[in-house]
């Protein structure tokens, strides 16, 4: 065969450059396919986290009467707390709208936009385990020299519970704007609530600083709120079962409320897989 012409040598060099460039371009669909697989893995990981949180919220509540128990339970764990609210130390978080409620029916949430506050009130924790009492009664057994004793369980009342000496923060729920100007409650009877443990909130760049002096709280800064009320930096959020009613103020969170954790991994996976398929179709000629 004869020597190749300059035109042939140019075409061969151009072909080699095209193939080399095409090999480089094929890294894009391969890379985007791998990113799609990574997002599928992240989706499974996030769904497991959400399922775990939901199981803690709907499971049997853990009775809290000891500080260490509450410190060790994870966030979103359902708990039962007995104690007395310190109403004159109530803090109002907001203004905020109540977005996770049903708007059917009349009352406070009758299909309109609602703006109000979340009421965070310290609670002095007590033991919610009734103490057994023993009574002695005379019977014909005592005539024979035997002592008759009867043990019964007392009923939980404000008179037979004991404060455990520490305060926690309780987000009691949402109230309308005018609730803040009303005088605080003076009663401090012992009550038992069901709640979920929360960790508070992070301040965003657009949020103003909290102003404890004027009772203006814009985000849930648990250490700051606890220091202001001389409480432990532990927060629980009161919940209620069943359909939310409009005659309860503050309005607690519904126990079946959705866990709001960002989970966009499915959309990300579809995007990466779509880019991988589209780029592969465009590069078929290489």
Question: Cα-atom radius of gyration of the chain, to the nearest Å?
Answer: 32
pLDDT for position 187? 66
Q: What is the DSSP string of 203-230?
A: PPTTSPPPBGGGTBB-S--HHHHHHHHT
Tens digit of each residue's pLDDT (9 = 90 or more) over 57-78: 888 899 988 888 898 999 999 9
pLDDT for position 262? 81
Residue 35: DSSP 8-state:
H
pLDDT for position 82? 92
Beta pairing partners, 160: none
Tens digit of each residue's pLDDT (9 = 90 or more) over 95-140: 888 755 544 443 333 344 478 899 999 999 986 544 444 444 444 4
Place of tokens 């002095």: 124
H-helix or E-strand spanning residue 268 = helix 265-282
Give 162's contacts (C-beta < 8 A, 6+ positions apart): 126, 127
Q: For residue 253, with 0-12 CB atoms within 10 Å meaning exposed, 13-18 middle and 19 or more buried, which class applies?
A: buried
Place of tokens 């104690």: 83
Task: Pick the closest to residue 244 from 96, 98, 78 (CA basis).
Answer: 98
Residue 100: DSSP 8-state:
S
> What residue ranges of the chain have pLDDT lower than 50?
102-113, 129-161, 242-245
Helix (H, G, I), strand (E, B), or coil: what is residue 127? Answer: coil
């Amino acid at each position: 065969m004869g020597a190749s012409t300059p035109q042939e040598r140019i075409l061969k060099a151009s072909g080699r450059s095209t193939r080399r460039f095409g090999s480089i371009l094929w890294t894009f669909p391969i890379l985007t396919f791998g990113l799609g697989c990574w997002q599928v893995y992240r989706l499974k990981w996030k769904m497991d986290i959400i399922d775990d949180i939901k199981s803690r919220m709907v499971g049997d509540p853990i009775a809290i009467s000891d500080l260490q128990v509450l410190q060790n339970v994870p966030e979103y764990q359902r708990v039962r707390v007995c104690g007395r609210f310190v109403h004159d130390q109530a803090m109002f978080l907001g203004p905020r709208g109540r977005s996770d409620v049903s708007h059917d029916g009349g009352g406070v949430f009758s299909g309109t936009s609602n703006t109000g506050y979340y009421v965070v009130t310290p609670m002095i924790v007590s033991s919610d385990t009734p103490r057994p009492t023993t009574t002695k009664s005379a019977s014909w057994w005592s005539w024979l020299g035997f002592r008759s004793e009867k043990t019964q369980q007392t009923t939980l009342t404000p008179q037979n519970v004991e404060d455990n000496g520490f305060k926690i923060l309780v987000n009691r729920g949402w109230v309308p704007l005018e609730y803040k100007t009303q005088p605080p409650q003076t009663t401090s009877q012992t009550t038992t609530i069901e709640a979920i443990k929360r960790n508070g909130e992070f301040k965003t760049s657009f949020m103003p600083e909290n102003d404890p002096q004027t009772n203006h709280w814009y985000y849930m800064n648990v250490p700051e709120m606890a220091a202001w009320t001389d409480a432990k930096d532990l927060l629980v959020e009161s919940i209620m079962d069943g359909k939310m009613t409009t005659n309860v103020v503050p309005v607690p969170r519904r126990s079946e409320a959705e866990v709001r954790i960002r989970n966009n991994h499915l959309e990300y996976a579809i995007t990466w897989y779509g880019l991988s398929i589209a780029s592969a179709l465009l590069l078929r000629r290489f």
